[in-house]
Structure 1
Amino acid sequence: MKPFISVCIPTYNGQKYLKDTLDSVLLQTYKDFEILIVDDRSSDNTIDIAEEYAARDTRIEVIRNPQNLGLVGNWNRCIELANGEWIKFVFQDDMIAPNCLEKLFAATQLGKPIIYCRREFIFEPETDEEVKIAYLNHPSAQNPFGDTVNISAQQYSELALKEIGVNLVGEPTSIMLHRNVFYQFGLFNPHLITICDLEFCTRVAINTGISQVPEVLAQFRVHGTSMTSFCSKNRNYRAKILDELLLIHDFAFHVAYAPIRAVAQQYYPETDLAHLFDQKTFSAWKMARKGEYSNEEFAFSPHIELEKVSKFYPLITRTINRNAIEFLKHDILQKMDLLVTSMKGRIKHFSPVVEYMKDRLKTSEKS
């Protein structure tokens, strides 16, 4: 008999926190679930820990990918292997409260195919103070929907358009999804590296609405070895600039984002998403051209990153080519303005010398 819920735990070198994660899942008051640990070719003791737990509990199945699929690829692999009617991700360094599945199961009666609960943060000792403040002040931590239990597709669309690129509901450990959403709306987008969960939840919720369990039932761990931390240090241009560009591309053109475009047309003045895409493309192209974020490794240089995503999003290339002359003209005008400003400053700096030379010339004329 198939379980009602599949708890999916995608792993990669997660030995440090995996036991805490598994213990939190096994303590659930709700019992009708399976645990799928899908490992992406870890090189540490992750598999040993997973198999140790699997030997003790028949609900646990350990799968090792034949090759490394990457973060999003492994998430999608979990979905392919899951047997449950509902899919609940719990990441290898996060935890859930003992009544988390029970509360989320009860919320399935509300009729929405996506449900989320509130979460709190576990800050590891090495976490920078600025990082802590950023997480605690993030919109999702401020409960943007209040205590509303049933959030309509229109409500979600309006806030998603107002807060483009902002995670409104938290990380996957806070979310449970009906398996049908993956048939209806596709899988996680493998071309995004930090907002793949945000994008997928938005893609679904703007069409179906979303249910909230307004209780803290999940814990998200913040630490220096997470993918988010890695991208912030080594792929900031890719994570901050290009991920948002790809999201706006989908807002403007993807068929699943028609509800967002409908809301945009209701605004006065209308939010022109296609024009916003052009602007963001120009900004990303200009940053890459100027070598901004140049402290990143050559393998992740802005120019290479932009080139890579353009292969999968040809409209980026077409937009750059179509507007190349305008882009270059804008760039040249900016440089000319800077040159004029610089020359004005130099003239002002040398004006006493100029006045002195003029005086000398006048004196020599008299003599």
Structure 2
Amino acid sequence: MHTVSICIPTYNGADYLSEALASVEAQTYKDFEVVISDDASKDDTLQILENFKARVSFPVHIFQHTPKGIGANWNHCVKHAKGAYIKFLFQDDVLLPYCLEEMVNLAKTDPEIGLVYGKRDFLFDTEPKDYTIWLRKCGILHQSWKGITVKQGILDGKAYLRDKNLLNLPNNKIGEPSLVLLKKEVFDKVGYFDTRLSQTLDFEYWYRLMPFYKIAFVDKVLIKFRLHGGQATQKNEKRKTKDARLLPQILMKNLFWKLHPKQRSYLIKEVFGIYYLQVFFKRIKKKLF
């Protein structure tokens, strides 16, 4: 069994996939397999993957997946992974050569570590100035915590969860899945990604594992995360609206008493505010129709 499973969920990723795969080949840490779950791509994604598999010496497993949302594809990847650790790589991101080595070395220092993360740099589809506002809010995530000081090393996940700034923007203070290494046993302990969510399922998962595991931070840039001009599309905005309704309810149910009192108050307002709005609009609808 390999130590790490690099999990790559794909869908119509031909534009940048070769760059992502090249970053896998360049890893200084070599004890890994690659697990790919493809969501019925219609471009050259599968051909690129097959060519990659034929060329490299390490194991590459390609699985077909019937599209059921991005979370289902992520979960499909994990379920086929055999490694002790899961390292996600999205099809348009890039791992720096020492990424796996740094993350695995830190993860192995303490069996109670469930998640390792670090810093990221960026790849831009358009001019960097187009992302100025986003970068100001989300560029340096580990400095967004207020109750804890994040530096190279290990902290109890419960300390992260009790941070009074947890649910303030940016919501995802850990980072995108490409920036995270997860212990495989975490999925047995807390389950898989919540497929009801589409824009917030990554950090909902980070929150969910925090009561049970320590979190480790590598104080180095480990990946390059690609920013797309289409990230604020109308389709994504609709997904965000759905998640904005559902996420507070999930957090209220699963984590309420583990949060800072300030964040508990916030959830109460969000959940009951949404409930009464729904009741109000149902009554209006009955009167109108």
CA contact (8 A) 2:157 2:210 kept: yes
Q: In terms of mean alpha carbon deviation, does 68-77 or 182-191 score higher?
A: 68-77
Q: Partner of 1:261 in structure 2? A: 257
Superposition map of 1:135-150 within 5 A:
135-138=135-138, 140-141=140-141, 143-144=143-144, 145-150=149-154
Equivalent in 268, 271, 280 of residue 274 of structure 2: 280
The CA distance in 1 between the partners of 2:65 and 2:142, in whole Å, is 41
Cα 1:66–1:102 shift into 2, 3 Å: closer
CA contact (8 A) 1:139 1:167 kept: no
The CA distance in 2 between the partners of 1:164 and 1:49, in whole Å, is 40
Equivalent in 197, 222, 229 of residue 224 of structure 1: 229
CA contact (8 A) 1:5 1:34 kept: yes
SS in 2 for 1:68: coil
SS in 2 for 1:167: coil
Q: Given the alignment of the two structures, is residue 186 of structure 1 paired with residue 186 of structure 2, yes or no?
A: no
The CA distance in 1 between the partners of 2:28 and 2:266, in whole Å, is 48
Q: How many residues are matched?
A: 277
For residues 318-352 of structure 1, give each alpha carbon's deviation from its aligned partner in whole angstroms, at most 9, with x where no partner exists: xx38x967xx6xxxxxxxxxxxxxxxxxxxxxxxx
Q: What is the CA distance between 1:158 and its match in structure 2? A: 2.1
Cα 1:45–1:127 shift into 2, 3 Å: farther
Q: Partner of 2:287 in structure 1? A: none
SS in 2 for 1:219: strand
Q: What is the CA distance between 1:95 and its match in structure 2? A: 0.4
Cα 1:43–1:184 shift into 2, 3 Å: same
The CA distance in 2 between the partners of 1:133 and 1:268, in whole Å, is 27
SS in 2 for 1:207: coil
CA contact (8 A) 1:171 1:197 kept: yes
Superposition map of 1:317-328 within 5 A:
320=279
The CA distance in 1 between the partners of 2:45 and 2:129, in whole Å, is 27
Superposition map of 1:158-237 within 5 A:
158-159=162-163, 162-164=166-168, 166-225=171-230, 229=231, 232-237=233-238
The CA distance in 1 between the partners of 2:38 and 2:262, in whole Å, is 49
SS in 2 for 1:44: coil
CA contact (8 A) 2:5 2:83 kept: yes
Q: What is the CA distance between 1:10 and its match in structure 2? A: 0.7
Q: Considering only CA atoms, is the larger Rg found in Structure 1 or Structure 2?
A: 1
Taking structure 2 as the reference length, what is the TM-score of the superposition?
A: 0.86
Cα 1:209–1:160 shift into 2, 3 Å: farther
Taking structure 1 as the reference length, what is the TM-score of the superposition?
A: 0.69
Q: Given the alignment of the two structures, is residue 248 of structure 1 paired with residue 252 of structure 2, yes or no?
A: no
Q: Give the root-mean-square deviation of aligned CA atoms.
A: 2.5
The CA distance in 2 between the partners of 1:277 and 1:268, in whole Å, is 15
Q: What is the CA distance between 1:281 and its match in structure 2? A: 3.8
The CA distance in 2 between the partners of 1:126 and 1:192, in whole Å, is 30
Structure number with the higher helix fraction is: 1
Q: What is the CA distance between 1:168 and its match in structure 2? A: 0.7
| AA in 2 matched with 1:243 | D
Q: What is the CA distance between 1:237 and its match in structure 2? A: 3.8
Q: Given the alignment of the two structures, is residue 14 of structure 1 paired with residue 43 of structure 2, yes or no?
A: no
Q: Given the alignment of the two structures, is residue 121 of structure 1 paired with residue 122 of structure 2, yes or no?
A: yes
**Which ranges of 4 or more aligned residues in structure 1 deviate by more than 4 Å?**
none
SS in 1 for 2:265: coil
Runs of 5+ unmatched residues, structure 1: 286-319, 329-367
SS in 2 for 1:47: helix
Q: Given the alignment of the two structures, is residue 156 of structure 1 paired with residue 152 of structure 2, yes or no?
A: no
Structure with the bigger RCO (C-alpha within 8 Å, sep 6+) is 2
The CA distance in 1 between the partners of 2:263 and 2:123, in whole Å, is 42
The CA distance in 2 between the partners of 1:244 and 1:148, in whole Å, is 32
For residues 254-304 of structure 1, give each alpha carbon's deviation from its aligned partner in whole angstroms, at most 9, with x where no partner exists: 2xx2xx42334xx37972634431113445x4xxxxxxxxxxxxxxxxxxx
| AA in 1 matched with 2:271 | F
CA contact (8 A) 2:5 2:84 kept: yes
Cα 1:65–1:261 shift into 2, 3 Å: same
CA contact (8 A) 1:156 1:209 kept: no
Cα 1:14–1:237 shift into 2, 3 Å: closer
- Sequence identity (%): 30
The CA distance in 1 between the partners of 2:264 and 2:65, in whole Å, is 49
Q: What is the CA distance between 1:208 and its match in structure 2? A: 1.8
CA contact (8 A) 1:139 1:168 kept: no
CA contact (8 A) 1:7 1:90 kept: yes
CA contact (8 A) 2:160 2:166 kept: no
Cα 1:262–1:173 shift into 2, 3 Å: closer
SS in 2 for 1:143: helix
Q: What is the CA distance between 1:250 and its match in structure 2? A: 1.6
